[in-house]
Structure formats: structure tokens, C-alpha cells
Amino acid sequence: MGISTERFEEYVSLIAQTLGHADRVEPFRGYCTGLLLPVKRKSVEPMAAQLAPTRVRSEHQRLHHFVADAPWSDQAVLDAVRAHTLERISARVGKPEALLIDDSGFPKKGKHSVGVARQYCGQLGKQDNCQVAVSLSLANEQFSLPVRYQLYLPQSWADDPVRRDQCKVPEAVEFATKPAIALQLLESMGEREAMPELVVADAGYGVNTLFREQLTAMGFTYMVGVTGIVSLQSEGQAPLQAKDLAMQLPSRRFRTLTWREGTNRALSSRFAATRVRCVSRESQAREVSDEQWLLIEWPKAEVEPSKYFLSTLSADTPIKELVRLAKLRWRIERDYQDLKQELGLGHFEGRSWRGFHHHATLCIAAYGFLVAERLTAQKKTPAHRLSREMPALPKGFRPRGAPA
């Protein structure tokens, strides 16, 4: 299905109102168009060649200035994208029911791009040279949309004034852990009444006791992954690690539950849920927390449980609902798949803090348009691209970084 050029122009005109200057409208339109075209590499130079094959140099300069230097607000654009997308789709697919927190890595060969360091990269499944960004998305079973996005700046970068200056890292940006960044992103969303109450995150965030406590203090409920070594206490029992507690549960407590239809089959596993209190490992004198859920996933073929979740959802929440919400994180994986494969989220070749975030914001803006197009068309199809004729590349054109 092609994209309506008329709706795309309306969308561009609406979002461009947040950019501050009228001369930014055309490069905004051009950049989003380039992201939606079937160009293999979504960095400035190849997009410029496709958008303006007879004046590649001037188009390249215009797009590069817009994404790398122009001081427009990422947050203002993301807020406009969120408002427009939710307005178009909420009546059809319902309001978002959770805020999803996650991070994603972008492998990098060099060492000069902002935030690049040897660290865990989810895309590669191992430690390697990469950038990592923390994101916050709105989601329900039918859709998800990133609404905040921030680069994780490793301590080695945060403490290096030379590299900070070279990549124009704002003075206000200090070192913060990924859970701390996630909390900052939640705070930046503004009024709590306009957001879902539930926060969903994996164990990279859930194991952080302060993170969970801060979510509760901010008025959120949570469904977060934890590891098997978290210290918990059941009613009338001595504290145990989550794994030991799970192994002691009788087998009849585990039920096979399906949470959604996958590509080829229904996704199901065995689960049990029990009420527990978290015990602080920092201080034996500290009181245990309020009672909450421990959800345990133990696939039938495994010798021990595979996943654990803690949740402050109400005590009368059915286990099937606990499982459904714990598994809602699949939506953000779909986001990253589309943003990386279809929209070139990791293709920005600049080195600056502003350029990194501007490129991500523009990718999310293009993605927000696609989300609304898909859902209002009532079709579950892959991310669409603009159905326009591709102009020919200039003779001899070779993108920067291409092999000789």
C-alpha cells in the first residue's frame, strides 16, 4: 500500500510548526522523505543524492546543517508526533496502556562519534564498540511509539572535557546510569495524568532497587524483569533468592498460558505467580517493601525457571493479565526493528550530540507517520515507504564510507 502524499504533506506542515523557523520546513520535509524512500543507506549523502540528483552538494549541505547544527527542540518535535499519532489512532486501537523502557545499541567502527565505547550491544548480543541510547515508548497490544530518546554517555566520555567539546556535548549533561536516564525521560513527559500508570522494563532496569522505588514514588505501577538472585520473602517465610523460591513452588502452581499469536504459532509457556516482599540487601535493619507480585516463567523443557518479573499491579490481577503485560515488551522490539531496518536509525554518520539526537527524532517522526498510516488503514503490514518514482543516482556517485 502506498502512502498518501496529501496526508504526508499535512503531517509535515503540522510537525514543522515546532521547528522555530520557516526555513527549516523544507529540510525537514526532505529529510523525512529521504527516510521513507527505499534507499539502502539513510545517511545524509545518499538521501541527498536521491532527493536532488542534479544538485547533490547543495542538498547535502542543507540536510547536514538541519540535522547536525540547527538548534531546534527534539522534545517539541517528539511531543507533536505523539499528539498527532495518538489523535489519529486512539479511536481505532485504544489508548496506550503502558510506558515501555528499553535501550538499543548501534555498532560503530571508529571511536570519535559521541558516546562510542566498548560496552554491551544488544544488536550484536555481546560487548563491542557501540553507542547505546535509552528510549521510552507508549504502547498497547496494537501499537507502540517512541516518545523520548537519549544517548547513554559512558563515564569515560562524561569525564573527558576534550571529547565532550569535540562532540558538543551540552554542559548540563552529566554521567547517569541507564535507569537514571529512564527516570529523567519519564519526568520530562510532564503531567502524569496524560500517561499510562504502568511502566514495563527488562531486568537491566528492574534489578535496580532505587529505580523500582523511584517509579513507585512517582506514582507509577511497574512490571519489570529481575534476576533469580533478587532477595524476596513470602508470607511467614525466611528470605530467599527468587530462583530458590520458584524451585520450592509445587508443580501444580505452574500453568501453561498463551500471551499472543506469533508469526507461525501461538506463543506460550508455563508460569506461576506468588505474592512476595523485596528484602533490601544493603541493610538488614531496613524494612521489607510492600507486597507485590513475583511472576515466574519456567518453560516445560527447562530444568529451572528462565525469567522472573516483579510487579506492583493490584493483588487481584489475574495471572494471565500479568503474563500479557510482562510480554508487552515485544512491541518495542518491533519498533527498533522497523526504525533500524526501514528508517535507518543507526545510519547517522556525524559525531555530535545534537546530530545524533536530531537524526533519531526525525526517524521517530517518520515512524510516527507510518504507525498512523498502518493502523488507520487497518492493515498489519511492514513499514511502508513513499510510493514515488526513484530518481537516478548521479553518474559516479559513491556514498561516503563505501568500499573502493
Residues 239 and 264 in one domain: yes
309 belongs to a structural domain: yes
* Residue range(s) defining the domain that contains residue 212: 204-330
Q: Report pLDDT for 389.
A: 41
| Residue where a domain terminates, one of 301, 330, 359 | 330
Q: Report pLDDT for 378.
A: 59
pLDDT lower than 50: segments of the chain? 1, 283-285, 379-394, 397-404
Residues 317 and 235 in one domain: yes
Q: At what angle do helices 25-36 and 5-16 cross, to 10 degrees?
A: 140
String of DSSP letters for 9-77: HHHHHHHHTTSSSGGGHHHHHHHHHHHHS--S--SHHHHHHHH-TTSHHHHHHHHHHHHHT----HHHH
Q: Report pLDDT for 111.
A: 85
Whole-angstrom distance, CA of residue 265 vs CA of residue 254: 21
pTM of the model: 0.90
Whole-angstrom distance, CA of residue 99 vs CA of residue 329: 10
| Residue where a domain terminates, one of 308, 330, 352 | 330
CATH of the domain at 303: 3.90.350.10
Residues 222 and 319 in one domain: yes
162 belongs to a structural domain: no
Q: Report pLDDT for 254.
A: 97
Residues 252 and 348 in one domain: no
184 belongs to a structural domain: no
Count how many Cα atoms sit within 13 Å of the Cα of residue 304 in the half-sphere of its side chain: 10
119 belongs to a structural domain: no
Q: Report pLDDT for 287.
A: 58
Q: Report pLDDT for 395.
A: 52
269 belongs to a structural domain: yes
Amino acid at 141: E
Q: Report pLDDT for 392.
A: 47
Whole-angstrom distance, CA of residue 295 vs CA of residue 272: 6
| Residue where a domain terminates, one of 298, 330, 362 | 330
Residues 389 and 319 in one domain: no
139 belongs to a structural domain: no
Write the CA distances from 175 to 35, 244, 348, integer angstroms. Answer: 31, 36, 23
Q: Report pLDDT for 284.
A: 47
Give tens-digit pLDDT for 95-131: 999 999 999 999 988 888 999 999 988 778 888 899 9
Residues 230 and 322 in one domain: yes
Residues 307 and 347 in one domain: no
Residues 265 and 349 in one domain: no
Q: What is the DSSP letter of 264?
A: S
Letter string b/e over residues 59-71, b meaning 16 or more CB atoms within 10 A of that residue's CB = bbebbbebbbebe
